[in-house]
């Protein structure tokens, strides 16, 4: 009888211990399931965290200070800016516009450079003070090219574009034109056009 009682008590103790352990195990599993997935796990199934990490990377890359730390080659950056600018050809002209709904000339510059972490002012006059001046013959991809306004005798900055050619080639640029005949984002040449007369400076900002 005594032995049976000891066995009975031992079983009760074991059941109690198992119950406590099982409860803790379930709680830990619940906590684990509530904890966010790792990037590698969520990226495999297209989870939200994969997108969050991608956005974080883009945010870091777009930060101008981080750009310097990452040592992105200027030539590669210029190619990317020019490529993006050219992809926007056909976007309409819109006074004060800075989005893909429409641009003015400096708004176009502001938009395409900001995409790559470079903050430039939304003003032709202020862009004339950015970077360093270089001769027109040395203009290269990614340089800003600044012109006067359209009024005869105007000597102040009134228009700006992005050079898409390299030294030794006839200078061409992509810009947001306010022309009533064929406005919007397009490519134009400098030589043998009205832009040759209106040319002010090339500014290197990369």
Query: For 37-76, how does the pLDDT look when each residue is reduced to its tens digit (9 = 90+)?
Result: 333 333 333 334 444 444 444 454 555 445 444 556 889 9
pLDDT band, very low/low/confident/very high, at 8 (cuts 50, 70, 90): low
**What is the DSSP secondary structure assignment for residue 151, as one 8-state letter?**
S
Query: In the prediction, which pLDDT does 61 show?
Result: 52
The alpha carbon dihedral of 185, 62, 77, 171 has a sign of positive
pLDDT at position 56 is 46
Q: What is the mean pLDDT of residues 100-122?
A: 97
Which tokens belong to 194? 């009205």
Share of the chain above pLDDT 90, in %: 60
Per-residue model confidence (pLDDT) at position 164: 98
> Which of residues 98 and 5 earns the better pLDDT score?
98
Residue 23 has pLDDT above 90, yes or no: no
Whose structure tokens read 């939200």? Answer: 48
**Which has more confidence, 198 or 62?**
198
Q: Supply the pTM of this predicted model.
A: 0.66
Stronger pLDDT, 42 or 25, i.e. the higher one? 25
Residues facing 99 on adjacent strands? 102
DSSP letter string over 107-147? HHHHHHHHTTT----S-HHHHTTSSEEE-GGG--TT-EEEE
Domains of the chain: 73-204 (3.90.1720.10)
Tell me the β-bridge partners of 204.
Answer: 132
Q: What is the pLDDT of residues 130-149, one digit of tens each?
A: 999 999 999 999 999 999 99
Length of the chain: 206
Of the residues 9, 83, 100, 175, only one is catalytic, namely: 175
Residue 18 has pLDDT above 70, yes or no: no
Q: Do the strands 184-189 and 172-177 form a parallel or antiparallel pair, or are they unpaired? A: antiparallel
Show the tokens assigned to 200.
């002010």
At 42 the pLDDT is 34
- Quick check: 192 pLDDT over 70? yes
Look at 180 and 127; give whichever has higher pLDDT.
127
DSSP state for residue 17 in the 8-state scheme: H
Average pLDDT, the chain: 79
Other beta carbons less than 10 A from residue 141's beta carbon: 20
Residue 171, pLDDT > 50, answer yes
Pick the catalytic residue: 28, 105, 111, 122? Answer: 105
* 105 is known as an active-site residue: yes
Decide: 55 and 63 in contact? Cβ < 8 Å: no
> Is 28 one of the annotated active-site residues of the chain?
no
Q: What is the DSSP pairing of strand 184-189 with strand 144-148?
A: unpaired
Q: Is 159 a catalytic residue?
A: yes
């Amino acid at each position: 009888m005594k032995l049976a009682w000891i066995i009975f008590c031992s079983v009760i103790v074991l059941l109690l211990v198992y119950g406590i352990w099982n409860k803790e195990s379930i709680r830990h599993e619940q906590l684990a399931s509530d904890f966010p997935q790792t990037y590698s796990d969520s990226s495999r199934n297209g989870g939200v965290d994969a997108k969050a990490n991608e956005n974080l990377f883009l945010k870091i890359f777009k930060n101008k200070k981080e750009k310097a730390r990452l040592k992105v080659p200027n030539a590669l950056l210029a190619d990317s800016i020019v490529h993006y600018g050219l992809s926007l050809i056909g976007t309409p002209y819109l006074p004060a516009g800075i989005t893909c709904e429409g641009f003015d000339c400096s708004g176009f510059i502001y938009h395409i450079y900001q995409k790559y972490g470079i903050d430039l002012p939304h003003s032709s006059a202020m862009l004339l003070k950015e970077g360093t001046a270089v001769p027109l013959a040395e203009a290269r991809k990614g340089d800003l090219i600044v012109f006067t306004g359209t009024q005869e005798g105007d000597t102040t900055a009134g228009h700006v574009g992005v050079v898409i050619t390299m030294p030794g080639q006839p200078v061409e640029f992509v810009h947001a034109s306010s022309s009533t005949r064929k406005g919007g984002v397009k490519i134009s040449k400098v030589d043998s056009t009205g832009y040759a007369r209106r040319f002010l400076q090339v500014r290197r900002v990369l």
